[in-house]
């Protein structure tokens, strides 16, 4: 998922600070979502907001332990991830056909 989120903005020539990897850069997940929306445009807004919500939920669960993730939410996350994958593939075909 992280990889798909990052592909469009990397191919637009944008890079994350520190080093060209998502590993070990503080806030890299939040940044990835912000950039995905910028790179893919309005068509990705709803999905990106949804994934950002999942990211925040993961933080709440990991750091406070007062929330749970439900099977209903997990099922939707998988469905939306597949949608996002298809969106990124289509974006690559349209904007960078040489990479397909």
Partner 1 sequence: MDALVRVGILKKRVDGRRSYIKANEESPIFTELRGLVEKTSGIVPMLRASVKRVKGLKIAFIYGSLARSEEAAESDVDVMVLGNVSTMELSPKLRAVEVAVGRQINPTVFSLDEFAKKVSAKNHFLRTVLRNKKIMLVGTEDELESIARRAEDSHAQVEQAGTR
Candidates 71, 98, 99, 100; binder of partner 1 (CB under 8 A) is 71
Least distance CB 13 / partner 1 (angstroms): 29
Q: If binding is defined by CB under 8 A, does position 43 make contact with partner 1?
A: no
Q: Cα dihedral sign for 68, 73, 74, 80?
A: negative
Binding to partner 1 (CB under 8 A) within 4-33 occurs at none
Distance CA 33, CA 51 (A): 8
User: 58 is written with which tokens?
Assistant: 């993961």
Q: Helices (DSSP H) in 12-70: which residue ranges?
A: 28-40, 45-64
Please report, as ranges, the residues that interact with partner 1 according to CB under 8 A.
46-47, 49-50, 53, 56-57, 60, 66-68, 70-73, 76, 80
């Amino acid at each position: 998922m992280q990889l798909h989120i990052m592909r469009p903005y990397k191919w637009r020539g944008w890079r994350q600070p520190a080093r060209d990897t998502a590993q070990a850069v503080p806030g890299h997940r939040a940044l990835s979502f912000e950039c995905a929306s910028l790179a893919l445009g309005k068509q990705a807004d709803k999905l990106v907001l949804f994934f950002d919500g999942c990211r925040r939920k993961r933080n709440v669960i990991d750091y406070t332990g007062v929330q749970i993730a439900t099977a209903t939410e997990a099922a939707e996350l998988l469905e939306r991830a597949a949608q996002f994958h298809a969106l990124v593939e289509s974006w690559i075909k349209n904007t960078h056909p040489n990479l397909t």
